[in-house]
Amino acid sequence: MTEAADAGTEVAAAVARAALVRTIAADGWLADPAWRAAFEDVPRHLFVPYYYVPVRGGFERLSSGNPDPGVRARWLSGAYADTPLAIRVRDGELISSSSQPSLMARMLESLHVRDGDTVLEIGAGSGYNAALLAHRLGEDRVTTVDLDPEITESARGHLAAAGYHPAVVTGDGARGCPSRAPFDRILATCALTSVPRDWLEQCWPGGLVLAPLATGLLALLVDDPGHAEGRFLNTPAYFVPLRDGPEPRHRPQDTGRTDVSGVPQHVLRHEPFHFLLSLTAGRLKAREAYELWQRERHPEHARFGVTVRGARQWAWLDDPSGPDAWPLLGDA
């Protein structure tokens, strides 16, 4: 692009970024001025110079370098839409994405960070989330790790282009980052089936792990490496799975291949019911889950929690020691 076109892009990006912040704030997020400033200042379009949009039979690639100004306008508009963006696709499979900005705001505010806190992010993605953290806490307080060297190399370049230089590490996210531990907060942007124990060992006592599990967001307070407990935020969340994490011994319930006789169609379409099925990980049949669903008057995400104690991990409804509890997928 020409210098004039670049300047025009920056002006249009600033307008779109301000509109995105207003959209997120209208939903009740970004009440913390520090996080609002991060979303106002960090240019998301620099982190997604290209991305993929689904079309019939595959994906269409939109990029900042497309010679067609109409395509470039679509790219910029999408970069500041409140939607997740597919940034890496391999053999038709989504490998990495940039999360929906409003969900990112919700997760970042739910970390309850304090000045001086150190944060480990599992799943580097585009680098945008690490930039928001670096804006809030300082780049020396932020570490992001990803298994794929192409992803970390790309994220590092995006971060540098935006003026941020946190630690970007290539490695197995399930093992954390022991060389930079301990951390005050660990934030995962990839879906889990159980909580990697290395994370608890790399967290200060009183630290917080916030991670997608089943189809929810778990906020886990760490007492010590052998004990952590917490509840789910009252919101659904769908992320690309953590790769090379703990191998589950059981598979999640799949209502598409499971006997759902006796379960009303409107319940099967209800996201919190799918969360219950996913969290119980096939230990409850769909009919049993429905009976629990009725008895407990359609429990929302926030009534569920997870406890890690030694080698055991289990999910529960209302009470960690109550009758409605199920081992997580990584446990026997």
pLDDT tens, residue by residue, 245-293: 444 444 444 444 556 767 888 888 889 998 998 898 778 888 899 999 9
Reported as a single tens digit per residue, the pLDDT across 310-324 is 999 999 999 999 999
pTM for this one?
Answer: 0.92
Catalytic residue among 77, 96, 154, 261: 96
CA distance 140 to 164: 10
Structure-block tokens of residue 46: 């620099």
Please compute Rg for the chain using Cα positions: 20
Domain-wise residue ranges, the chain: 3-236, 265-327
Q: In the predicted model, what is the mean pLDDT of the chain?
A: 91
Note if 102 is an active site residue: no
Question: Residue 209 belongs to what H/E stretch?
Answer: strand 203-213
What distances in angstroms separate CA 158 from CA 63, 107, 155, 162, 201, one per listed residue?
14, 21, 5, 6, 30
Burial of 53 (0-12, 13-18, 19+ CB in 10 A): middle
The pLDDT tens digits along the chain (332 residues) read: 555 557 788 999 999 999 999 999 999 999 999 999 999 999 999 999 999 998 888 889 999 999 999 999 999 999 999 999 999 888 777 888 899 999 999 999 999 999 999 999 999 999 999 999 999 999 999 999 999 999 999 999 999 999 999 999 999 999 999 999 999 999 999 999 999 999 999 999 999 999 999 999 999 999 999 999 999 999 999 888 886 544 444 444 444 455 676 788 888 888 999 899 889 877 888 889 999 999 999 999 999 999 999 999 999 999 999 999 999 975 43
Report the CATH architecture of 3-236. Answer: 3-Layer(aba) Sandwich (3.40)
Secondary structure of residue 300 in the 3-state scheme = coil
